[in-house]
Homo-oligomer: A and B are copies of this chain.
Amino acid sequence: MHVLVTGAAGMIGRKLAERLGRDGVLNGTAITKLTLTDIVAPKQPAGFSGEVLLPVADLAAYGAAETLLAGRPDVIFHIAGIVSAEAERDFDKGWRVNFDGTRALLEAIRSIGDGYRPKFVFTSSVAVFGGPFPETIGDDFHLTPHTSYGTQKAMCEHMLADYCRRGFLDSVGLRLPAITVRPEPTAKAASAFFSAIIRDPLAGLEAVLPVPDSVLQTHASPRAAVGFLVHAAGLAPEQLGPRINLTMPGVCCTIAEQIEALRRVAGDPAVALIRRETDPMIARIVGGWPHRFDPQRALTLGFTAESSFDEIIRTHIEDELGGSVGRSPARVPVGHGT
């Protein structure tokens, strides 16, 4: 089996490539070839014995998608894209990368035209939703994004569904919730603090919290996000039906609940490193995001995320910190830290 990952130098793409390399199989079939592409060179995944190609490519550039597709990958994970803040700042770039790049890939698949029909897994985002919201966003709530990024993702979802319906590919679109704890700082993202207030205190560093404790958000770990992608690749078209775009599950909690989870896992000293410094602009942006979902279809189809924010923190400690907290005293019971 030949697997293509776009955006393979990004955080999720890299972790997916690592997992595929480590597993060596996908849907019970051995992976013989991995093509990992991005606009900068992706890393070689450790421990993979099959063939690895690491082409540097800009999908929206003329002919780039056709060249990538020449190897006829059986499964395509399309993760490439620029983030919300960048797509908002640079209108042309957002449309070019997030929309035209995806369209070029779909057109390259269609143009092969000899019955080639790969499995195509697309990372969409809960940014496709825009307020006003009901208390809980169900699977049939409409998409009215408030950002160009969300618009581009929503349009790609539609396009993907039509190409799927027409038989050019078998596709699934996954609306990812906030991915927390991100292992590296993402300074430009308004959502950066959701991860920073956990990651940095666990590393003995101060973190700034720019929004009130009451802010609600739905989170899944990077490991869970990779799990969504792998699980999606194994779904049969009959299981999905025509509605191929799915809101993924996650842990819905307030900032206060995130902080209490941090206290349970790493004690008061970690929590003491969170400094409150309100940023009205970030508070306004985050306040406009969707908070809570009822992803019935994804749950029925077997997608799973963490069941508590404590588990999300422990996943981070296992995957990024070698299983134990560095400078902070790990596992100090609630209320007994110093």
Contact = CB atoms under 8 A, between A and B. Distances in A.
Interface in A145-188: 145-146, 148, 151, 154-155, 158-159, 161-162, 165-166
A141 interface: yes
A155 B159 contact: yes
B155 A242 contact: no
Interface string A130-147: 100010000111111110
A43 interface: no
A333 B140 CA distance: 45
Given A151-B162, A161-B151, A146 B242 contact: yes
Nearest to A149: B162
A243 interface: yes
Contacts of A158: 143, 145, 151, 154-155, 158
Contacts of A116: none
Contact of A162 (B134, B148, B159, B162): B148
B91 A166 contact: yes
Contacts of A141: 140, 142
Contacts of A130: 242
B243 A144 contact: yes
Contacts of A148: 162, 166
Interface residues of A, number: 23
A143 to B, nearest CB: 7
Contacts of A243: 144
A151 B156 CA distance: 10
Contacts of A142: 139-143
Contacts of A144: 161, 242-243
A223 to B, nearest CB: 29
Pick the most buried of A144, A161, A162: most chain B CB atoms within 10 A of its CB.
Answer: A162
Interface in A94-152: 130, 134, 139-146, 148, 151
A148 B140 CA distance: 20
Contacts of A166: 91, 148
A162 B140 contact: no
Contacts of A159: 151, 155
Nearest to A128: B158
Interface in A6-23: none
Nearest to A138: B142
Rank and list the top 4 A-B pairs by shortest CB-CB distance, nearest first: A151-B162, A155-B155, A142-B142, A140-B142
Given A146-B242, A148-B162, 19 more contacts: A91-B166, A130-B242, A134-B140, A139-B142, A140-B142, A142-B143, A143-B143, A144-B161, A144-B242, A144-B243, A145-B158, A145-B161, A146-B165, A148-B166, A151-B159, A151-B161, A154-B158, A155-B155, A158-B158
5 contacts: A91-B166, A140-B142, A142-B142, A144-B161, A151-B158
